[in-house]
Structure 1
Amino acid sequence: MALSNNVIGAINFVAMLLSIPIIGAGIWLGNEPDNSCVKILQWPVIILGVLILVVALAGFIGAFWRIPWLLILYLIAMLALIILLACLVVLIYMVTIRGSGHVEPNRAYLEYDLNDFSGWLRRRVRSSFKWDRIKACLSTTNMCAELNQRYRMAQDFFNARINPIQSGCCKPPTQCGYTFINPTYWISPINTAADMDCLQWSNDQNQLCYNCDSCKAGLLANIKEEWRKADIILLITLVALICVYVVGCCAFRNAKTEDIFRKYKQGYT
């Protein structure tokens, strides 16, 4: 029984360690400027990681002090958390499976269309109330101002691989035919009817294309890239947790079997 409890304790210690990448993924998302403005995924990930840490700690204590009811509670709670983590992994994959940039002639950077993304993600940014808050947050960053410092010539800017938010929020859509002055100042559009965003563009450095659908699409494209990276971490951790849980269940069953035989022998003698 003591050996089995030691094994269970060691397994729960590993489960505690596996909560760290989950919490870390949530903290990393929270530190990214776009995710810190949207605030959708980071807190559920952090909370789930903390819950796994607490439940694994409870299992470790139950094994160390040989508290059967605490071990049973651990097995039930950890199974529920594994299911929740699996659902989260699937959800992230499903909502990020759509949405990619398209190429424009003579441009290295990509353009983004809001309708290319999943409806679930679009609903996070389409509400004017939600977008006003997100827009105010994005406008406080220096992501657009830094383009002016980095690119002076039009061709250098056209050949640049800027990120999706910069492409969608800091410049007008390419199809509008604006003339480049600097990365955040454009004049003389050729075709303002090409897209509603062509009319939304403003040379006011506090406005730019923050009111454009292309800005919302660029934000979602950036979020998609970051969420997919986080999803890989969560998937690897999920597989490891499942393996740890299965081994823990086997160890607990063996411990119970040993306990039954020990009591049987004591009764027999």
Structure 2
Amino acid sequence: MALSNNVIGAINFIAVLLSIPIIGTGIWLATEPDNSCVKILQWPVIILGILILIVALAGFVGGFWRIPWLLVFYLIAMLILIILLACLVVFVYMVTIRGSGHPEPSRAYLEYQLDDFSGWLRRRVRSSYKWDRIKSCLSSTSMCAELNQTYSMAQDFFNAHLNPLQSGCCKPPTKCGYTFVNPTNWISPIFTEADMDCLQWNNEQTQLCYSCNSCKAGLLANLKKEWRRADIILLITLVALKCVYLIGCCAFRNAKTEDLFRKYKQGYV
């Protein structure tokens, strides 16, 4: 019994360690400018990681100090958390399965369209109330100003591999036919295409294309890229956590069997 309890404690210590990449993933998402402005995924990931840490610690204590009710709590609570983590992994995959950039002639960067993304993600940015807050947050960053310091020639800018946020928010869409002055200053054509994004462009550095649908699409494209990376980490951790849980269940069952056998043997003798 003592050996089995030590095994259970050691296994739960591994579960404690597995909570670290989950919490770390949430913290990483929170430090990314786009995620820190949107605030959708990072907190569920961080909270789930902390709950797994607490439950794993309970199992660790219950295993080493032989507290049966604490081990039962661990087995039930951890199963629920594993199911929640699996649901989160599937959900992130499903909402990021759609959406990609479109190439434009003579441009290295891609253009992004809002309708390419999942309906759930589009609803996060479509309402004016939500977008006004996100827009204010994005415009306070230096992502567009950095382009002015890097690219002074039009051809250098056109050959640049901009990230989706920079492509969607810092310049007018290529189809609008604006003339390059610098990355955040463009001359409007005489006849502007009848597209709201073309009309939304403003050379004012706090405005640019932050009100454009292309900016919303660029934000979602950036979120998709980062969420996919996070989902891979969560998936790997989920598989490891499931294996640890199954081993823990077997060890707990063996410990109970040994305990029953010991009691039976003592009663028999």
Comparing 181-190 with 38-47, greater Cα deviation is found at 181-190
* Distance in 2, Cα, partners of 1:7 & 1:155: 63
Q: Which one-letter code corresponds to 1:12 in the other structure? A: N
The Cα of 1:59 is off from its aligned counterpart by 0.4
Q: Deviations over 1:127-154 (max 9, x none)?
A: 1000000000001100000000000000
Aligned CA RMSD, in angstroms, stands at: 0.7
* Distance in 1, Cα, partners of 2:266 & 2:53: 38
Find the residue that maps to 2:99 and give its secondary structure. Answer: coil
| Length-normalised TM-score, structure 2 | 0.99
Counterparts in 2 of 1:235 and 1:158: CA distance versus 1, 3 Å: same
Aligned counterparts, 1:1-269, within 5 A = 1-189=1-189, 192-269=192-269
| Length-normalised TM-score, structure 1 | 0.99
* Distance in 2, Cα, partners of 1:137 & 1:258: 60
Task: Specify every segment of 5 or more residues in structure 1 that has no aligned partner in the other structure, as ranges.
Answer: none
Q: Which one-letter code corresponds to 1:45 in the other structure? A: V
* Distance in 2, Cα, partners of 1:114 & 1:59: 46
* Distance in 1, Cα, partners of 2:229 & 2:38: 17
Q: Deviations over 1:106-138 (max 9, x none)?
A: 000000000000000001000100000000000
| 8 Å contact kept, 1:170–1:208 | yes
> Which structure 1 residue ranges, 4+ long, deviate > 2 Å from structure 2?
188-195
Q: Deviations over 1:240-262 (max 9, x none)?
A: 00000000000000000000000
The percentage of aligned residue pairs carrying the same residue is 83
* Distance in 2, Cα, partners of 1:192 & 1:133: 28
Task: Specify every segment of 5 or more residues in structure 2 that has no aligned partner in the other structure, as ranges.
Answer: none
Q: Deviations over 1:35-81 (max 9, x none)?
A: 00000000000000000000000001111110111101100000000
* Distance in 2, Cα, partners of 1:191 & 1:213: 20
Equivalent pairs counted in the alignment come to 269
